[in-house]
Amino acid sequence: MGSRRAVADEVIRRWSRAAERWARHADEIDAEGAEITAWLLGATALAAGETLLELGAGPGGVGLAAADAVKPGRVILTDIAPPMIEIARERVQRLGLENVDLEVADAAALPQPDASVDVVVSRFAFQAMDDPGRAFAESLRVLRPGGRLAFAVFPAPERNPWSSLAMQALAAAVGAPAPGSQKPGMFALADESHLHSLVSRAGFVDVWLEHVAGERHFASFESWWHLRRELAPGAAQAWASLDETAREAVESALREQVQAYSAHGQLVFPSDVLAVAARRPDRR
Ligand SMILES: C[S@@+](CC[C@H](N)C(=O)[O-])C[C@H]1O[C@@H](n2cnc3c(N)ncnc32)[C@H](O)[C@@H]1O
């Protein structure tokens, strides 16, 4: 790919385009991510009066869930894509939360001063960033000594067929690279030892990686397939570029593949998340 700026601009375009569809499904996304949100907030052991910064917040699910726990402290929701921050703003207003600030910000160049927050969290966003190493370094810079980082990314595509089957089928149909090889992309931080060393090299200590396995349930093939095309960035675009014959071929191949996950009239897929906690060293 080209320069860092060009890649970052493409990331902004990709997620800004996806934002309208993410707005429609924000509550569903949070319901699906509830277990991981609980893991992240549990790992950071939030205390009243603390400041929590969420990176790549999208519609803001983790920060919104943390707002009560840090009162009278504050939550800062940030994302590089302005339309995502607008979705989060609308949700903050709807919930009447008064201790939540919103900011368009690149996690690799944060506007927050040094040592100004107690906790940094991020759900499924570091792998979407063009320079996650720099984003970890920035997270360390803005954390106070002893401050906590907790985030979640996805392990290998085959551990998450609820997403990778659709992504693979669409990538093959439009001649795009397979999902596991896209950087940035959903599986870009799937390699645990690479991830561990990125976080450690940024200066974090007590780096803890844990797999959180679960299931994703869908009422029917149609509801699963509709949601995949709505939420996977690039999927709507890939789908729109296919003619009727190519669409039928993709759909019938997928119907066949998901048979393996059909149970009691539903689709039940395994899912796996890589959840990570770490700490900025204490001041010596
Ligand atoms: C998969 S979405 C996750 C959204 C949200 N955290 C959630 O779990 O619902 C990834 C988000 O990361 C954001 N993002 C990508 N690169 C970023 C960067 N460099 N800095 C901040 N946010 C970024 C995207 O705009 C998008 O909103």
In single-letter form, the type of residue at position 9 comes to D
Which residue matches tokens 């844990």? Answer: 210
pLDDT score of 274: 98
CA of 70 to the centre of ligand 1 (A): 22
pLDDT score of 165: 96
Q: Determine the Cα–Cα distance for residues 227 and 165; give it in Å rounded to an integer.
A: 13
pLDDT score of 1: 47
Tokens of 82: 């302005």
HEC string for 100-118: EEEEECCCCCCCCCCCCEE
Best residue among 54, 122, 124 to mutate for probing ligand 1's pocket (most ligand atoms within 8 Å of CB) is 124
Count Cα atoms within 13 angstroms, Cβ side, for 126. 27
CA of 59 to the centre of ligand 1 (A): 9
User: Which residues are near ligand 1 (CB < 6 Å)?
Assistant: 11, 15, 29, 33, 55-59, 61, 79-81, 84, 106-108, 123-125, 128-129
b/e per residue 223-257 (b: at least 16 CB within 10 A) = ebbebbbbbbbbbbebbeebeeeeeeebbeebeee
In ligand 1, the atom with minimum distance to the C-alpha of 59 is 9
Kindly report, residue by residue over 203-219, the tens digit of the pLDDT.
Answer: 999 999 999 999 999 99
The CATH number corresponding to 4-157+180-215+272-279 among 3.40.50.720, 3.40.50.150, 2.60.120.380, 3.40.50.12370 equals 3.40.50.150
pLDDT score of 5: 85
- Contacts (Cβ under 8 Å, ≥6 apart) of 3: none
b/e per residue 175-205 (b: at least 16 CB within 10 A) = eeeebbebebbbbbbbeeeebbebbeebebe
Predicted TM-score of the model (pTM): 0.96
In ligand 1, the atom with minimum distance to the C-alpha of 14 is 25
Task: Tell me the three state secondary structure of residue 60.
Answer: coil
In ligand 1, the atom with minimum distance to the C-alpha of 107 is 20
The length of the chain in residues reads: 284
Nearest alpha carbon, ligand 1 atom 13? 56
pLDDT in tens, the chain (284 residues): 468 788 889 999 999 999 999 999 999 999 999 999 999 999 999 999 999 999 999 999 999 999 999 999 999 999 999 999 999 999 999 999 999 999 999 999 999 999 999 999 999 999 999 999 999 999 999 999 999 999 999 999 999 999 999 999 999 999 988 888 888 999 999 999 999 999 999 999 999 999 999 999 999 999 999 999 999 888 888 999 999 999 999 999 999 999 999 998 899 999 999 999 999 999 76
pLDDT score of 155: 97
